[in-house]
Amino acid sequence: MATYRVKPSKPFAVFGALVGVAMLVFVFVNGVGRNSGFLWLWAAVCVGIVGFNLWAAFSKRGASEVVEKRTTE
């Protein structure tokens, strides 16, 4: 069974990280959900988006998915 790692292009992964940072700045500047836990949930999701995209862009094993191809006998 062959295994292939599917990795996003470096420019697209960096763009995704920048979008995550922009979302994080937006929520802190506008104060959306400041009186609830939504702010911290939003911040955690944004940090996850940024971290995942930077890992995918700069890690040698930064594959966003793994595809297995089964050989037929």
Asked whether the beta carbons of 6 and 64 are under 8 A apart, the reply is yes
Q: What was the pLDDT predicted at 73? A: 57
Tokens 């420019």 appear where?
11
Listed ranges 1-5, 34-38, 43-47, 67-71; the one with the highest mean pLDDT: 43-47
Ranges of each domain in the chain = 2-69
Q: What was the pLDDT predicted at 69? A: 77
> 66: which residues sit within 8 A by CB, 6+ positions away?
3, 4, 5, 6
Q: How many CA atoms lie within 13 A of 58 on its CB side?
A: 9
Per-residue pLDDT reduced to its tens digit, 11-66: 888 999 999 999 999 888 877 667 778 888 888 999 999 999 998 888 877 777 77
Q: What was the pLDDT predicted at 32? A: 66
